[in-house]
Structure 1
Amino acid sequence: MPEPDRPYRPIEDYALIGNGHGAALVARDGSIDWACLERFDAEPIFSRILDRLRGGYFALRPEGAFEAERLYLRRTNILSTTFTTETGVVSLHDFMVAPEDGARHPHLVRLVTGVSGKVPMVAIYRPLRGFAEAFEPLEAEDGHVTAPGHPRLAADVPFAIEGDCAVARFSIDGAEDHSFALHAEGERPLRPDARDLLEMARRAWAGWTAGAAYDGPLSDALTRSALVLKGLIYEPTGAIVAAPTTSLPEEIGGVRNWDYRFCWIRDACLSFYVLKKFGMVAESEAFFRYVCSLSEREKGGLRPLYAIAGESDLSEHAVPHFEGWRGSSPVRYGNEAADQHQADAYGQLLDLLYMYHRLGGTIPDAAAARARHLVKFSARHWHETDAGLWEPRKPEKHYLHAAIMNWVALDRAIRLFGERDDWCAERDRIVARVNGEGVHRDGYYPQYIGSNDVDAALLIAPMVDFPVDEAVFARTVDVIIERLGRGPLVYRYLNDDGLPGHEGTFLICAFWLVDALAWLGRIEEATTRFAALRALQNDVGLYAEEVAEDHTFLGNFPQAFSHLAFIHSALVLDLYAHGGRAAVRGTYADRTLRETDERRAPRIESPRG
């Protein structure tokens, strides 16, 4: 029973559930249209978000017309959807269960409960392994639906096979409930009580959020973003995926469709800062170990991104028979940007090590040795071209952002390991170049030396404590607002990047602008923009990677970097409110150690050697 008349849902129509291993997206109408259950980067079992006819899905909804409202249970990642129909009201709870050794818990649970009246319901289970071209035949028996290579669906209502779907039709009265659970393929699972699992999940999330160190303004909103980040952390390694999806486009009908189910090094320091500042101690420690393990094993330079278990082969492939969300093809898995040289990664790693050290941690010897090697490389090669952090498919350039991040690498190495003549000399040369020939004749910092174009990446310069010329930086901010700004939104750049088409505005850039304005003391502008950006969240508090000028969500969803930037900007504004411009200046480590509302700054509790 496929649903050929169901159109693609807007990206903002989805909500995330996860368990620290995999994740799923649930649409407002009760359909799970994307899910990778065992690993974020595993083959999807549901993929209708990328092809409304060929993709797999798991729908659960009233049979007739309905209205839907949804929310997350407070301080959890448990999604609650309420369906209101002419004959009654039902609620649906969707959540994932953390794997436990020796337990046969399901990966994903759906619990539907009658609230009032009597409501006819339908459940449609149509799994597809990866991006296969054909559906495996399903078998339904005794409340179980199975197929080779697919999770086992266990339910307390009977299913019948209709074509390539398993379908259950049932009615639900007030106070009655029915459950559906997806288990790993293989051993016949136990059928635990779904209400017990729901309560177990609720307690686990509530216990985790109770440990949050932040209790300032916007506590609930920031906790929601922290819960998104927690839902995107791969617990076996500590890696943070940029997003749980692939190929949601940067332009509807365009080709800018990338796989984001990997961990980018470029925001390592921002990630650690937010995790640590928010009190996510175990997560920040695990992330630090993950990044250190990557840096220690590489013989050459760092790659821009890695798989969540550290694999470096992220070969990019297209799926020609999938049409993509709203016709945006190709659908891709893997990401060839992993093979690019992005010099900013060195600064990210050294900044991370420096922050860890400042917070009382002991840098592992192997990581320190690797850092020294990378700094030597940075000192020798910073003046060379690189691919840039935005991964354009064009020849390399002398990007100012890369120069600034090489300065960060040298500066943090000097602070960590002591002054060396060559490191100090090259650090000073970078400052001279950026503030000399790097300045456009019209008095702003351009994207790269010799360019007329501007790049929102340069907004981060003062937040990493680079010694910008303040007048030039202020002019840069004004040019970015003039050329790249659209209301509170900001494009990352608008010049040619070697790809056809265009893209939406980047949320992380819009938050960088908030931070830059605060650093300049333009606090009213900063707070106004922040409030407008906060209003762009969807109804359950989630952000995508990009937003179109009409406020339509674009790009992979939900986006870790957008939520990291939202939390960071809120913390910057909080610091400013208590300490003015001085409180937001310096390095990430400086801002982490500053106290707000007499709250103790976070430190490393158990240094690791």
Structure 2
Amino acid sequence: MSSPLEHYGLIGDLTTIALVSRSGSIDWMCLPRIDSDACFAKLLGTNEHGYWSLRPAVEVRAVQQRYRPETLVLETEVTCDGGRARIIDFMPPGETEHDIIRIVEGLEGEVPMHSDLRVRFGYGKLTPWIQCNSHRATLTSGPDALAYISPVPLVPDWDASRLEADFVVRAGERLPCSLTFYASHLAAPGHPVDAERDLVRTEQYWREWASRCRYEGSFRDAVVRSLITLKALTYEPTGGIVAAPTTSLPEELGGVRNWDYRYCWLRDASLTLEALMRGGYLDEARAWRDWLLRAVAGAPDEAQIMYGVAGEHRLPEVELPWLPGYEESRPVRIGNGAYGQFQLDVYGETLNAMYEARVYGVQEAGSLPWDTLKVLVDFVEKSWQRPDEGIWEIRSKRQLHFTHSKLMAWVAVDRGVRFVEQFGANAPEKLKKRLPRWRALREEIRADILARAYNSRVGAFTQSYGSDALDASVLLIPHMGFLPADDPRMLGTVAAIEKGLTKAGFVERYLAETGVDGLAGHEATFLICSFWLVDNYTMVGRLDEAGALFQRLVSIRNDLGLLAEEYHPGLHRQLGNFPQAFSHVGLINSAVLLEAKRAGRDVSFTAMAAASMH
């Protein structure tokens, strides 16, 4: 059985990742890309579905897991009766090969160790052909292969389905082992991995990257860890950032709300860009912006809500019946059928990302994207009155006029107007001539939202037009500059969400019992929604409450500073896919906003945008 999510650490090489448990087992890894088939899938099943365990062969008295400061080098320190040892796990970034390197270091006395490698390609279904020669082995299945180098001779088990090795590490010794992916039609890597050199290089890479962080406030450690996590979720060849490196980790233990998050959502783009740029990472923001523009290239009515890491359009959803799921949460799904939904908000997110990038000084590689700007705003002009599936990707086949979707339609037009007004001195004349029409459209959408989305009976902006249901996504209204946070309607909305969507101090995205999503069961509190509440408190000067909620959110991170998608306050468990980019984006943006407000700076949308231009 897999470990609780709180007991996992993340390592990666900017093309894929591995999840390593406190017990020294790699239980999830996809190769060669973050969205490829998993070769270790114990996280969603049992030992039979693949893992790589490296642990003491005697009883462990104590375990401590940590990252080397400001790196993605993971250390797991174990104490046994006979001594103490450390396992150093990392993946060197920037290599053409995909190496997982594990160094066992003796700290005190001597510790007998056991290595157990059970590779199962195809998400735990396919047993590889193993060829073993003393310290080296290859494991092959169809197009995929792994080369394994062990510090001691390897012993295949009786049916050649796994590789085991026993050895003793003594104080002062450092014994490396490695696993390298390669295409099976090519020769296995002939050169041994230089583990010590790669460790130094990996540590230097991450420390240099972290040193560029521009944030120097009181939450720096948490912010840097979140930025490193976002960087780890990047597919560097294209700049795309996935929502999470995992699939089917449940929103409710034993439930069916299990989705594949190894893709790039357009709606994540705006807030992710903002988090990267506020942290000082303009190169990463530029790469993400460029990925975004490539992904949406073409007809705007064909734009999707999500794409593959290289911009793939087809993400068909299928179930894997041989996997029992994380803590028996079925079904396990790969692919994501929501890619075919119509979600009006993605046009606002795309244009907001373009605008934010330009405001923060992320220059265009060539000419400004005037054609993209024109076709997206024109499409919103024709389509903003259509119902859609909304930010939460409702699968009930019901399309509603969601407030957040209309808000983002307004954002699309507003950012189009702002882009031309602020940066359009050399814009095409035909685009400048559109400005009066776009300004009028912006006011039309604004009036529609104020008239139909605000429910005077509830005293709040509600989930959709004519609804009494609450929805945390409306907390983004001031963040997007639609209304100031101290507008009476927003104050009433915050009060209603505090009363109706808050559970043990954390915010739910909506109440599942309203039936809007058409799915059975419930879910835990949605972490980014709690960060949005922090932001609303901050904007109106409720700094004690903002600080208290922010500290509560920081406190539920695991020992390594990682957050999943959701948190169950009753079970004290992290749930959903892990680690979740959106949760870490929320942490970064809330920390920056709270620090700025405490310093007496204006944190309204207009002020923050203006400040970013200087």
Match of 1:376 in 2: 378
Pairs aligned (count): 584
Match of 1:150 in 2: 145
2:45 is equivalent to residue 51 of structure 1: yes
Q: Given the alignment, which residue of 90, 100, 115 partners 2:107?
A: 115
Contact 1:314 1:334 in 2 (8 A): yes
1:33-69 residue CA offsets vs partner (Å, 9 max, x unmatched): 0012321101111110000143110000001211210
Q: CA deviation at 1:489?
A: 1.0
Q: Given the alignment, which residue of 524, 548, 563 partners 1:504?
A: 524
Q: Given the alignment, which residue of 119, 131, 151 partners 1:127?
A: 119
Match of 1:336 in 2: 337
Q: Given the alignment, which residue of 152, 165, 168 partners 1:168?
A: 165
Q: CA deviation at 1:571?
A: 0.5
Q: Given the alignment, which residue of 396, 400, 407 partners 1:397?
A: 400
Q: CA deviation at 1:107?
A: 1.4
Shift of the 106–358 alpha-carbon distance from structure 1 to 2, 3 Å rule, reads closer
Contact 1:98 1:107 in 2 (8 A): no
Match of 1:202 in 2: 203
CA distance in 1 between counterparts of 2:231 and 2:264 reads 14
Q: Given the alignment, which residue of 596, 606, 609 partners 1:575?
A: 596
Match of 1:80 in 2: 75
2:180 is equivalent to residue 179 of structure 1: no
2:480 is equivalent to residue 464 of structure 1: yes
CA distance in 2 between counterparts of 1:361 and 1:146 reads 45
CA distance in 1 between counterparts of 2:243 and 2:304 reads 15
CA distance in 2 between counterparts of 1:367 and 1:93 reads 45
2:317 is equivalent to residue 316 of structure 1: yes
Match of 1:607 in 2: none
Q: CA deviation at 1:365?
A: 4.6
1:383-428 residue CA offsets vs partner (Å, 9 max, x unmatched): 2201101001121000010111000011111122356333222211
CA distance in 2 between counterparts of 1:36 and 1:156 reads 24
CA distance in 2 between counterparts of 1:493 and 1:315 reads 27
Match of 1:597 in 2: none
2:265 is equivalent to residue 264 of structure 1: yes
Q: Given the alignment, which residue of 538, 561, 569 partners 1:518?
A: 538
CA distance in 2 between counterparts of 1:133 and 1:94 reads 26
Q: CA deviation at 1:298?
A: 4.2
Q: Given the alignment, which residue of 558, 571, 583 partners 1:562?
A: 583
2:6 is equivalent to residue 12 of structure 1: yes
Q: Which amino acid aligns with 2:154?
A: F
Q: Larger deviation: 35-44 or 85-94?
A: 35-44
2:154 is equivalent to residue 159 of structure 1: yes
2:551 is equivalent to residue 531 of structure 1: yes
Q: CA deviation at 1:95?
A: 0.2
Contact 1:111 1:177 in 2 (8 A): yes
Q: CA deviation at 1:211?
A: 1.6
Contact 2:49 2:125 in 1 (8 A): no
Q: Which amino acid aligns with 1:462?
A: P
Match of 1:473 in 2: 490
CA distance in 2 between counterparts of 1:71 and 1:310 reads 34
Q: Given the alignment, which residue of 19, 23, 34 partners 1:25?
A: 19
Q: Given the alignment, which residue of 420, 426, 431 partners 2:446?
A: 431
Q: Which amino acid aligns with 1:406?
A: A
Shift of the 132–106 alpha-carbon distance from structure 1 to 2, 3 Å rule, reads closer
Q: CA deviation at 1:147?
A: 2.0
Contact 1:139 1:161 in 2 (8 A): no
Contact 1:183 1:189 in 2 (8 A): no
Match of 1:493 in 2: 510
Could you state the TM-score of these two structures normalised by the residue count of structure 2?
A: 0.92
Contact 1:301 1:374 in 2 (8 A): no
Contact 2:2 2:27 in 1 (8 A): no
Q: CA deviation at 1:295?
A: 2.1
Structure 2 residue ranges without an equivalent (≥5): 421-431
Q: CA deviation at 1:592?
A: 5.4
SS in 2 for 1:538: coil
SS in 1 for 2:112: strand
Shift of the 40–106 alpha-carbon distance from structure 1 to 2, 3 Å rule, reads closer
2:34 is equivalent to residue 40 of structure 1: yes
CA distance in 1 between counterparts of 2:610 and 2:49 reads 48
SS in 2 for 1:130: helix
Q: CA deviation at 1:106?
A: 5.2
CA distance in 1 between counterparts of 2:28 and 2:609 reads 36
1:11-34 residue CA offsets vs partner (Å, 9 max, x unmatched): 111000001001000000000000
RMSD: 1.7
CA distance in 1 between counterparts of 2:75 and 2:124 reads 31
CA distance in 1 between counterparts of 2:80 and 2:131 reads 32
Contact 1:379 1:422 in 2 (8 A): no
Contact 2:247 2:262 in 1 (8 A): yes
Q: Which amino acid aligns with 1:521?
A: G
CA distance in 2 between counterparts of 1:339 and 1:262 reads 14
CA distance in 1 between counterparts of 2:373 and 2:263 reads 23
1:80-126 residue CA offsets vs partner (Å, 9 max, x unmatched): 0101001100000000012435xxx6511000011111111100000
CA distance in 2 between counterparts of 1:282 and 1:170 reads 45
CA distance in 2 between counterparts of 1:297 and 1:461 reads 29
CA distance in 2 between counterparts of 1:245 and 1:58 reads 17
Match of 2:426 in 1: none
1:523-563 residue CA offsets vs partner (Å, 9 max, x unmatched): 22111111111111100100000011222010010001100
Q: Given the alignment, which residue of 533, 543, 549 partners 2:569?
A: 549
Q: Which amino acid aligns with 2:549?
A: R
Contact 1:92 1:111 in 2 (8 A): yes
Structure 1 residue ranges without an equivalent (≥5): 1-6, 595-600, 604-609
Matches within 5 A, 1:171-250: 171-185=168-182, 186-250=187-251
SS in 1 for 2:541: coil
Q: Larger deviation: 433-442 or 122-131?
A: 433-442
